Amino acid sequence: MDTIITTIKGVYVVGNPKQISPVVLLADDDSDRIMPIFVGHAEAMSIHFALQSEVAPRPMTHDLIISMLKELGSGVDHVLIDDLDEGTFYARLVISVHDSSKELDARPSDCIVLAVKTGSPVYVRKDLFDQIAVDSDEFEGIDNISEYLS
């Protein structure tokens, strides 16, 4: 399966002030194309805070997962966003376990947070990216979620 590595451009909001929809933008560094993934508000906040390297006073769920993996001698190898079915994206969290790797079915939003917090790459199945991605200029003028937090 062909994949591309993406860069997480950030968390943005689209819509009007009464009803905004958070969207995570994944970019292909080799082109000027962006793949949007709409996520829930809580998930958007988790991704945004991870991108800002903000640390909660107590470990959040994603921090707990990372700590557990570390204590078990494992770690996040990479994330693979590999399917879209009826508007829902599917992803796999690939973890290293000793000398092998395991794939776990997970929500893309959770995978993205874990990838950001561990510095792990986010891959997208190439034909999925090609199907969903748009030119980056189509997202000009949208607001970064941080503008709604201040």
DSSP assignment of 89-129, as one string?
A: EEEEEEEEETTEEEEEEE-HHHHHHHHHHHT--EEEEHHHH
With beta carbons less than 8 A apart as the criterion, state whether 105 and 79 touch.
no
For residue 100, the enclosing domain spans: 3-149
Nearest to 51 by CA among 29, 89, 25, 74: 25
Nearest to 146 by CA among 8, 37, 53, 49: 49
Model confidence at 18, in pLDDT bands (50, 70, 90)?
Answer: confident
Q: Given a cut of 80, is residue 17 above it in pLDDT?
A: no
Q: Using CB atoms within 10 Å of the CB of residue 65, give its burial: 0 to 12 exposed, 13 to 18 middle, 19+ buried.
A: buried
The pLDDT of residue 19: 82
pLDDT tens across 70-96, in order? 999 999 999 999 999 999 999 999 999
User: Total structural domains in the chain?
Assistant: 1
**What is the value of pTM for the model shown?**
0.92
- For the residues 43-70, what does the mean pLDDT come to? 93
Nearest to 78 by CA among 99, 94, 67, 62: 94
